[in-house]
Each structure stands twice: as C-alpha cells, then as structure tokens.
C-alpha cells in the first residue's frame, strides 16, 4: 500500500488510517463531526497527496482535450480551470476532474486517486502526434485547505503569493501549485508541492490554526453540497445528464466529444433515471451507501443509495440515489430501508446546505 509523504505526521496526530485507492490515508483524527465543523466554521486541511496530476501539452492540445472531455475547454483563458468529465463511448463517466489551462498548449489535470491508472490508459490510447502526456502523480504531494478563514490564513502565511481567482491556477516562483477549488463548498484552495515541501506546508498551516481533517469529514462535507463521488454517485453506467451535471456538458461546442451521441439522445428523449437528493424526514439511523430506497409505503423498491451519511451540519440523514424521473421530483415522499425497518424520507432540491 502507498504511503503519503505526510504519513508520519498523521501517526503523530493520532489519525485513524485506512486503505483508500491503494493508499493508507487518514479517515479521521479528532472525530468526523468536529473536523466537519472546523471546515464549515473556520479552517481545515486535508491530505490529498493520493490524487492524480497530469500535464498535457502540444500544439493542438485544446482541440484534443475538447474531443475527450464534456465541458468546453475553449472557455478557459490562461490561469483558469473548470470542472469536467471524461466519458466512455456509451456516455458513462470514467472520471470527473478539474482541468486547468496554464497556456494555450499546456494543461494541468487533477484526477481522482482511484482512477489514475484508468485515466492514463484512456488518454494514452487517444494520443496523437504532437500531444505529450505526462503522469506527474508521483511527483506531487497535495493539501486541500478549506474553510471561511482559508484566504485570511494564506495571506498571513504567504502575503507575497496571491491566491488565484475562483477555479484558477497559479504556480509560485518556488514551484508550488495553487488551485482555487475544493470539494467542501467552502472557500479554499488545493496546494500541490514536492513530497519534501508538502510536509512543511502542512506544519505551517496547523501552526496557523488549521485543523487536520480526514477523508471521513471530506465525505460528509461534499455530500451536504451534493458534490458527486466517483464510483459511488458517478460510474460508467450513468451519464452526466442522469447525474444532474448538464451544466458541465457542452453539447454545442465545436468538437464532438466521446460519449456525445448518447447524451444528445438523452437530451432529445429525456433520461430514464436521475440522481436525486434525499433527506430523512425524522430521526433515523444514518442512511448509507447501498441502503434500499423505497416508496412511501415502504413496500416497493425504487433504487438504492449511492451515497449516504448523517449530515453533521443539519443533524439529519442525507443521501443520493438514481430514481425514475417521476420519483425524483423534490417533495416526493420516500422511505429508506435500514436493517428490518423503513424510515420516512423525501426528495429535496440540491444542495442540502
């Protein structure tokens, strides 16, 4: 199993470490609820060294990427990034990622840890003359710095290094990469640097008051915002339109992209399932991935939860599931089967918080 450059620090902090995507990662330190609250109210820092980073460059790389990803790469100027998806030929999601344009012929991609190999294989199969692909994942350690105090603390630590604007990317003179994005719904950024230096950043951020946060809190935070998780809410059997991510799919862009045909069909004829946000309507055990979603009577199964958790901010259970469109309308009463009982729930508008 792979170890993060911050591994010994996690151990010193008393982190609970578990395998994730082939890495030994901190799930929690103090407790998921405390860490979640720290990010919502102040500042938390997450080890994201396991994530993947690619650099693609070349003369027609903009056009090349636009034929592989769903969002319109041409909308980006130098220093800007966008959330986008990479689909298979059936329109199913291989990965969701953030694409940053550093220059007309140079792009930086941040991809899910669990998909690094598959993404690389896919992109390499599609390479053509003049495009260079580099998997830089082993070179970069990463931190996600998230919370309302993130800008203030960064400016105290590094007044000379400006944070990029929202979704932007900036490389410091010393080679650190700052990306103004996050997976928590709070202001913040992701910071990539060498394995040697990422530890120093971590130490400095903790000293400045950031709370170390694990993957457990990362999951509760993103779920409250309805950000999908690859291999839970997103998979190769569902299209981004079914997942409600049409905003990041530009069907009218200049280059046809892989999977586009299926999506054009869904746009014309409608989707057969929709990823719905589901909230428990009373006290219940936490809803979890895999639990059955049933109709109001509790007798007929409509689907199963792709994600589920107690929401620490709302104090109630939340989850997501693919449901038939008529069952996916906000206000639809449902039940969730937990062990041998059913508990009332309903479809709500996204996000939960």
Q: Give the range of 73-81, 159-167, 231-239, 307-315 binding another protein by CB under 8 A.
A: 307-315
CA distance 276 to 140: 35
Length of the chain: 353
CA distance 15 to 17: 6
Q: How many helices (H) and strands (E) does the chain have?
A: 8, 20
Is 161 one of the binding residues for another protein (CB under 8 A)?
no
Beta carbon nearer to another protein, 2 or 33: 33
Beta carbon nearer to another protein, 27 or 161: 27
Is 298 one of the binding residues for another protein (CB under 8 A)?
no
What is the chain's Cα-based Rg? 20
Determine how many CB atoms are found less than 10 A away from the CB of residue 341.
11
Cβ neighbours for 342, distance < 8 A, ≥ 6 positions apart: 294, 298, 335, 336
Span 13-72, contacts to another protein by CB under 8 A = 27-28, 31-34
- Give the tokens for residue 95: 């990965």
Half-sphere exposure of 336 (CA within 13 A, CB side): 30
Closest contact distance (angstroms) between CB of 219 and another protein is 9
Closest contact distance (angstroms) between CB of 93 and another protein is 25
Beta carbon nearer to another protein, 179 or 221: 221
Is 220 one of the binding residues for another protein (CB under 8 A)?
yes
Cβ neighbours for 271, distance < 8 A, ≥ 6 positions apart: 239, 241, 242, 325
Closest contact distance (angstroms) between CB of 111 and another protein is 25
Q: Give the range of 3-11, 137-145, 155-163, 281-289 binding another protein by CB under 8 A.
A: 281-289
> For the chain, where are the E strands, in sequence order?
2-3, 16-20, 23-28, 44-47, 52-58, 80-87, 93-103, 106-111, 131-135, 140-146, 169-171, 177-179, 188-194, 211-213, 274-280, 292-294, 301-311, 316-323, 333-338, 341-348
Is 337 one of the binding residues for another protein (CB under 8 A)?
no
Beta carbon nearer to another protein, 21 or 251: 21
Beta carbon nearer to another protein, 193 or 219: 219
Beta carbon nearer to another protein, 36 or 180: 36
The correct pick among 61, 76, 302, 310 for binding another protein (CB under 8 A) is 310
The correct pick among 12, 77, 159, 283 for binding another protein (CB under 8 A) is 283
Count residues near another protein (CB under 8 A). 17
Beta carbon nearer to another protein, 181 or 309: 309
87 phi and psi angles, rounded to 5 deg: -110, 155
Interface with another protein (CB under 8 A): 27-28, 31-34, 216, 220, 283-286, 288, 309-310, 312, 339
């Amino acid at each position: 199993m792979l170890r993060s450059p911050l591994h010994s620090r996690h151990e010193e902090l008393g982190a609970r470490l578990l395998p994730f995507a082939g890495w030994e990662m901190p799930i929690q330190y103090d407790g998921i609820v405390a860490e979640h609250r720290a990010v919502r109210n102040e500042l938390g820092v997450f080890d994201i060294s396991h994530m993947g980073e690619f650099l693609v460059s070349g003369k027609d790389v903009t056009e090349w990427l636009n034929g592989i990803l769903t969002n319109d790469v041409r909308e980006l100027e130098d220093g800007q990034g966008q959330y986008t998806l990479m689909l298979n030929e059936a329109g199913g999601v291989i990965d969701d990622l953030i694409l940053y344009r550093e220059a007309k012929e140079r792009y930086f991609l941040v991809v899910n840890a669990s998909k690094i190999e598959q993404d690389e294989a896919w992109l390499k199969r599609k390479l053509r003359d003049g495009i260079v692909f580099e998997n830089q994942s082993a070179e970069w350690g990463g931190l996600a710095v998230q919370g309302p105090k993130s800008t203030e603390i960064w400016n105290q630590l590094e007044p000379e290094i400006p944070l990029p604007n929202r979704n932007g990317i900036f490389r410091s003179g010393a080679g650190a990469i700052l990306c103004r994005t996050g997976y928590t719904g709070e202001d913040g950024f992701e910071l990539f640097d060498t394995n040697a230096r990422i530890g120093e950043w971590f130490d400095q951020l903790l000293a400045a008051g950031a709370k170390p946060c694990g993957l457990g809190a990362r999951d509760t935070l993103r779920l409250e915002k309805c950000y999908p998780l690859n291999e839970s809410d997103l998979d190769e059997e569902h299209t981004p339109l079914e997942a409600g991510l049409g905003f990041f799919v530009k069907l009218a862009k200049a280059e046809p992209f892989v999977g586009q045909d299926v999506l054009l069909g869904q746009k014309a004829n409608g989707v057969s399932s929709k990823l719905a946000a589901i909230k428990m309507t009373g006290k219940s055990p936490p809803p979890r991935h895999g639990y059955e979603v049933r109709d109001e009577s509790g007798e007929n199964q409509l689907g199963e939860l792709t994600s589920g958790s107690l929401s620490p901010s709302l104090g109630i259970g939340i989850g997501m599931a693919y449901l038939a469109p008529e069952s996916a309308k906000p206000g639809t009463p449902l039940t969730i089967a937990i062990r041998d009982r059913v508990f009332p729930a309903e479809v709500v508008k996204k996000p939960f918080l």
